[in-house]
Amino acid sequence: MRRIAVLCAGWALIMLSGGCAGGGNVDPWEKTNRVFYNFDDGLDRAVLTPVNGFYVKVVPAPIRTGLGNGFDNLFYGNVILNDFLQAKWNQGLGDTARMAVNSTIGIAGIFDVASRLGLPKHENDIGITLGKWGVAPGPYLVLPLLGPMTLRDTPGIVVANATNPVTWLFPPLYVTVPLGIGQALDRRSRVDTAIQFRNALAIDPYVFTRNAYLQYRDNLVHEGRKPVDQSLYEEVPETSPATAPAATRAASRPAR
Amino acid sequence: MRRLRSSLIVAGLCVGWLAAGLAAAEVDPPAARDVLDGQVKNALAILRDAKLTPATKRQKIRGIADQQIDFETLSRLTLGRYWRDLSADQRAAFVEAFRNHLSNTYGTLLNGYTDEDVTVAGDLREPNGDCTVQLRVIGTVNGSRQELAKVDCRLRRKAGWKVIDVTAAGVSLAALFRAQFQAIMANGGFDRLLGLLRAKASETNQK
């Protein structure tokens, strides 16, 4: 218990120091992050991309979808917990019903029966909850094997595992290892199109990934309702700013 | 005789309506959402045409993109304050390199396309006069057709409405490129950025 308290205090301290030391810099640990990013990217190109190609080629799409549904269902307790932490009572009840329906009628979540019954899937985690509670994202972070996140998202690693029922069953290795491999294959296959787009579009893949991740997470925290930053769409005047008419900083409007 | 007169009156009214319509069309160019809707339908028809080879599809999609995206404004927005310091030749070289880079990624779009539909859900007038057209991407998930993504296209009217940004799942492409370009400009300058853009376009083109 004492260790957990020390860990939490350390996390809070880093959140504060990282935010202050950066002076608005979202990536004060860029040098280390780039090392881990290159490690993750190298691993992806050398191992995960070919393995994913094999997985997609060998395993038929309906089976891949079923496996993906099953893993979503296994981790859905995390979504429900965070629904309630954000006081989204109706969504929390709906998501609980969704997990119950898919776990039973949907046979361990393999078939997404709940969506057809009007219980849609939601995305939620502790990073989003902390964001809604007003916690700033903190420094950007890249971890080996885990990829991009912000310091605010790091408790999600613990919470996602704590809300996974398999964790509490303490299954033997011959169950956890295939489950872990299956989960890794599923996750990689889902982000394949996004990785292909990044590889095709990015001029600086590290900055591209960082910016895309931060924008995406920010949008989730604000549920697509964050005012659009209109300054992005102001064209720089040709003459020097001192003599040019002041650029109109238009009023903000909700994103959607 | 009465019938003829009635017919002439109706015909006259039709001509009047037509003339009024044409006059209105000259005054008010097509709305942003209509322009985009038409081009999205053209693009989907190309993507779905089984008779076209991937190379032809890519070429046709590039044709639509060249017509519909305002690459110069996009370049100005993504380079920000650095744009002002560039000469006319540097600007032209940059716009061309950026256009080539983006057009070389259309192949990825073709590979990722699996019979999705795109519909216009609405439009918003921005405070500075831009128009944001809201698109919905519909695809098949677990055997049923459902919304896969919300995509916002921001258009600016100069010589007609043209796209200056695309935002999907809250991720703005203009912001993505701006972050990269600013980082590279601050750490190597224009020549490095142009070199990287050209190298990337050439690398993608060879695949």
Question: What ipTM is given for this predicted complex?
Answer: 0.81
Enter the pTM of the model.
0.83
Which residues are within 8 A (CB) of A41 and not within 5 positions of it... i.e. 6 or more apart? A205
At residue A2, the pLDDT reads 63
pLDDT bracket for residue B116 (50, 70, 90): confident
For A121: left if phi > 0, alpha if psi spans -120 to 50, otherwise beta; the answer is beta
Instruction: Tell me which chain B residues have a C-beta less than 8 angstroms from the C-beta of A220.
Output: 170
State what percent of residues in chain A have pLDDT above 70. 84
Cα of first residue to Cα of last residue in chain A, in angstroms, is 44
Is B144 strand, coil or helix?
strand
At residue A3, the pLDDT reads 63
Residue of B78, B94, B104, B180 best to disrupt the A interface, most CBs of A under 10 A: B180
pLDDT value at B3 more than 50: no
- Per the DSSP assignment, residues forming a β-bridge with A150 are A140
Low-confidence ranges of chain A (pLDDT < 70): 1-23, 239-256
At residue A224, the pLDDT reads 87
**Tokens 């600007």 correspond to what residue?**
B91
Contact A127, A217 (CB under 8 A): yes
Dump pLDDT digits (tens) for A114-134: 998 999 999 999 999 999 999
At residue A242, the pLDDT reads 47
At residue B59, the pLDDT reads 86
At residue A38, the pLDDT reads 96
How confident is the prediction for chain B on average, in pLDDT? 82
At residue B63, the pLDDT reads 87
Partner-chain contact A253 B126, CB within 8 Å? yes
At residue A11, the pLDDT reads 65
At residue A156, the pLDDT reads 93
pLDDT value at B25 more than 90: no
The beta-carbon contacts of A45-50 under 8 Å, at least 24 apart in sequence, are A48/A184, A48/A188, A49/A195
Whether A5 contacts chain B with CB within 8 A: no
A-B interface: how many C-beta pairs under 8 angstroms?
115
Nearest to A233 among B142, B154, B171 (CB): B154
Instruction: Tell me which chain A residues have a C-beta less than 8 angstroms from the C-beta of B174.
Output: 232-233
Is B119 strand, coil or helix?
strand
pLDDT value at B14 more than 60: no
The closest alpha carbon to A92, from A82, A102, A100, belongs to A82
Q: Which run of H or E residues covers position B160?
A: strand B160-168
Dump pLDDT digits (tens) for A161-185: 899 888 888 888 888 888 889 989 9
Instruction: Tell me which chain B residues have a C-beta less than 8 angstroms from the C-beta of A236.
Output: 76, 80-81, 83-84
